[in-house]
Structure 1
Amino acid sequence: MNDSARRCSVRTEPAGHQFEVAPDQTILEAALTQRIGLPYGCRNGTCGSCTARLLDGEVRYPSGKTEALEGQPPSACLTCQAVPTSDLVLRVAELERLSDIEVRTMPCRLAEKTRLNHDVMRLRLKLPEGQRLAYVAGQYLEFMLRDGARRAYSIANPPHDDALLELHVRRVPGGRFSDEVFEHLEERSILRIRAPLGTFVLREDTERPILMVAGGTGFAPLKAMLEHAFRRRIKRSIRLYWGVRARRDLYLPELPQRWAAAHPNFRWVPVLSEPDPDWNGRAGWVHEAVLKEHPSLGDFDCYLSGPPPMVEAGRAAFEAAGAGLDHLFSDAFEYAADSHCAD
């Protein structure tokens, strides 16, 4: 029997869970099917959220999608793309509470559509009467389109404020779905979603200070996490760095201003890569602004959310500054793709 035709066993450390992977099945697919709470994000080999350490055994990557392995040590394993060729032992931080949440497919109605700036639309979705979606702040949902394509957006509101599900949709030039949202989608339209998905969630079993880094609409899942943290009265130091091109690309800027006024442990720093002539704040790449204030990141939990180039640059720079993989969490939005995307 060749390697690709055998079932393989996977054991996780330190949790000690064991599960089987069918021939040609990825580690993550098998884990999710068997309710093992492995971390994941884009499921497309881009964001690195699913990275585990391969302690024993061998894998292959038939898809060839291994962008997130660049710069990683040889033991790094992308569970969303890796197919075992032998029994494995993985070191990975499991998320027990997410494995207990049911992923559901359901209809919803567009209750509200509000333009937040020149290229971001806020959608608020209402589930069928009497239903609520169990989810954790930072997770995302997928729209299931009629042609079989899917578009994924982070849920921007926390679970304690879930009468409506809030999404931030950025208009992408030539983006079929975002064009539909901006030009044609009407309030009261019926849509079909699958949710909740993803493991980009706040780790609460630690007292480490928190650094959050957003690029564009990567603010959405961080907004949900922050509002959850404030509700839980988490007292850890929290810093949000939000990178956009110019001042007009900041949307809902009054929110972090209010949070900073109400919560002494919170501070936010907007960063413009193409600053307006009268801009007096931080300029340049957002991850570089973080490192100017925090050149050593070994003591922080770091959360990065936004387009893949920003997330990839941030992860590499933060690892070089001492951020350990067990404390570096990311969510990369694949614009105009059928994976985790913002179009």
Structure 2
Amino acid sequence: MTFQINVAPSGHTFTCDIDDTVLAAGLHAGIGLPYGCKNGACGSCKGKVLSGSFEQKPHQARALSDAEKADGFALFCCVVPTSNLDIAVREVGGSSDYPVRKMPSRVASLTKVTQDVAILTLQLPANEALAYRAGQYIEFLLRDGKRRSYSIANAPSLDQPLELHIRHMPGGLFTEQVFSTMKERDILRFEGPHGSFFLREESHKPIILLASGTGFAPVKALVEHLQHLESPRPVTLYWGGRRPSDLYMHALCEEWAATLPHFRYVPVISDAQPDDHWSGRTGYVHAAVMQDQADLSGYQVYACGAPIMVDSARADYVGKCGLPEDEFYADAFTSEADLHQF
């Protein structure tokens, strides 16, 4: 059995099988529904069900609160329809421009830049290329049907091996392999590109890039894409970590600040120790933005990293600093632990 899904305000329609999710069916139909993790943890696919019945599959409470449910909101990555549905969601232009492909790849290099962060590069087969937007991610296809998602850290214009930044999660199905047994020339399969976190090129607004930890990966790709476009838009990157070593590409960011005419870099450390000899900004990275710019009404913000940072930034920037809600773009990283909390 299939049901019709009507999307407001665009007027787009698509069909969804009874055992499929609204998000999966919409993406398959080429509809630009917003999404991030696709597993009920990040909240990026949130929208309103205007009419119809459905089953809301398990998800994390932080992604969809009981109050939001009562107000008619749902996570479309977890919604299975039981009738025709009318839904309201802000569609993302350009998110389905490039086909999702399953591809083999070979480990070109694996470099541990800190004790718990590795930079992995992947070489695609000869005469093959992955078309993607800077900021999107791929999913590694693991045994037993499991998947793990990582943002691509370089812009497609560079024509380089795909670069991924991977933080070690002790006991993690994929990251344990990366940090213990993986070696150059190993073969990995992935699917992509995925995600609606990418630059809105039609805007001329100044940009704030907000990253924590390895959330820097897609932000790096955005900066490289802005370089490629020779964009005149002012860009400020705020990158936060607990200790200075967490800013594992600090030198590259300083180089950008020294050479790019419209670029500013603000590193922020939340738990500096005396032996770090840190003399820069301290505290929470999202709060540093508010200290520097109390009025965000004329900005776009692209935030990536820990869900608590992304959620705090969204709430404070929209609620306190006047940022239009539709100018906050986010990719909240979910860990392997997140996948087993519901």
Q: Which residue of 1 aligns with 2:328?
A: 328
- Percent identity between the two aligned chains: 44
Structural mapping, 1:1-343, within 5 Å:
7-13=3-9, 15-54=10-49, 60-70=55-65, 74=71, 76-84=73-81, 85-95=83-93, 97-277=94-274, 278-321=277-320, 322-337=322-337
Q: Give unmatched runs, 5+ long, in structure 1.
A: none
- Residue type of the alignment partner of 2:215: G
- Residue type of the alignment partner of 1:214: A
The 2-side partners of 1:287 and 1:245 are apart by 13
Cα drift, residue 338 of structure 1: 8.3
The 1-side partners of 2:131 and 2:323 are apart by 31
- Residue type of the alignment partner of 1:230: Q
Q: Is the 8 A contact 1:65 1:81 kept in 2?
A: no
Higher relative contact order (CA 8 A, sep 6+): 1
Q: Is the 8 A contact 1:66 1:78 kept in 2?
A: no
SS in 2 for 1:176: coil
Pick closer, same or farther for the CA change 1:284–1:72 going to 2, 3 Å.
farther
The 1-side partners of 2:173 and 2:305 are apart by 20
Cα drift, residue 72 of structure 1: 5.7
- Residue type of the alignment partner of 2:279: N
Q: Is the 8 A contact 2:49 2:86 kept in 1?
A: yes
Give the TM-score, by structure 2 length. Answer: 0.90
Aligned Cα RMSD in Å? 2.1
Give 4+ residue runs of structure 1 displaced > 6 Å after superposition. Answer: none
SS in 2 for 1:52: strand
The 1-side partners of 2:318 and 2:75 are apart by 17
- Tell me whether 169-178 or 103-112 shows the greater mean CA deviation: 169-178
Q: Is the 8 A contact 2:41 2:59 kept in 1?
A: no
SS in 2 for 1:125: strand
Q: Is the 8 A contact 1:171 1:179 kept in 2?
A: yes
Give the TM-score, by structure 1 length. Answer: 0.90
Q: Is the 8 A contact 1:246 1:273 kept in 2?
A: yes
Cα drift, residue 193 of structure 1: 0.9
Cα drift, residue 56 of structure 1: 5.6
Aligned length: 333
Q: Is the 8 A contact 1:143 1:151 kept in 2?
A: yes
Q: Give unmatched runs, 5+ long, in structure 2.
A: none
Pick closer, same or farther for the CA change 1:293–1:60 going to 2, 3 Å.
farther
